Amino acid sequence: MIPETRAPLQWRLPPVAVLLTAVVLIGCAEVGGASMVRFKVELTRWARHAMLARPATHGLVGVRDVDERVLDEALVKFDAGLRLFHLHAEGMGLVIIATTTIAATLAGSPASRRPIIVLLTVGGAGYPLGYLVWSGLIPYYGPERGKTVAEWLVWTPFGGATIVALWWLAGLVAWRMMRRERG
């Protein structure tokens, strides 16, 4: 039996600004979810009105049997965007807290710890907003073009930042484990 000589891990909290960002994001998710339910009719009416004002954008042909199907699809996606914002903002708030706590504890060097925490916070907080942007763009640009804009403006940069930071963190944790095994 080999006695345990390693010191127990001391968990460190991430900076207050990071925690505040995560809490605000979760708060936005809750307010967004509640507003989505409370103002469902008003939101749907606004989106429908905005789409009817742009028939060429949505490919409306002036025949109810054809146009209703197009409008219904766009409205379903508009609603889906709001739901996905609620879902992702809740989830990413928790992801920010969990991953930045790990980074603050296990990333020893400030040179790597700081950028990882910044990337995780900015990426995690920005990514869910892409769904809100997508929803807002649907009445003006249509579901597909709106999705492309949201991808380039929000999902790709912010989601990319989170992915890079997570891989960086995973690499650091793996490196630390290997060093401990060898030491």
Partner 1 sequence: MIGRARVVAASLAAAVALLVTLCPAAAHHVGTYVPKDNEITTNFKQIKFSVQAGKFAVARRLFDTGPLQTDMRARAARLPAGLEAGLRAALEGGDGAEVERGLTIFFAALARDLAREATRQTADPTLSREACAAIGARFLEAIWRYYNLVDFAVARRDDRTSVVIRLAFDEATGYAKSIAAPDKLREPLTRIAQALSAFIDASTPARRGS
Using CB under 8 A, list all residues that contact partner 1. 59, 61, 63, 65-66, 68-70, 72-73, 76-77, 80-81, 84, 130-131, 134, 147, 151, 155-156, 159-160, 163-164, 167, 170-171, 174, 178
Which tokens belong to 41?
A: 């009719």
> Does residue 39 contact residue 95 with C-beta atoms inside 8 Å?
no
Shortest separation between residue 170's beta carbon and partner 1, angstroms: 7
If the CB atoms of residues 15 and 79 are measured against partner 1, the closer one turns out to be 79
CB of 171 to partner 1, least distance (A): 6
Q: Return the structure tokens found at 173.
A: 């944790």
Those residues with Cβ within 8 angstroms of residue 145's Cβ, 6 or more apart along the chain or in another chain: 137
Give the shortest CB-30-to-partner 1 separation in angstroms.
21
Token pair 């060093």 in the structure block, residue: 179
19 or 79: CB nearest partner 1: 79
Residue 175 to residues 121, 164, 178, 181, Cα–Cα distance (Å): 23, 16, 5, 10
Question: Closer to partner 1 at the Cβ: 59 or 108?
Answer: 59
Indicate the residue among 7 and 63 with the shorter CB distance to partner 1: 63
CB 13 within 8 A of CB 84: no
Distance CA 24, CA 21 (A): 5
- Smallest gap from residue 161 Cβ to partner 1 (A): 9
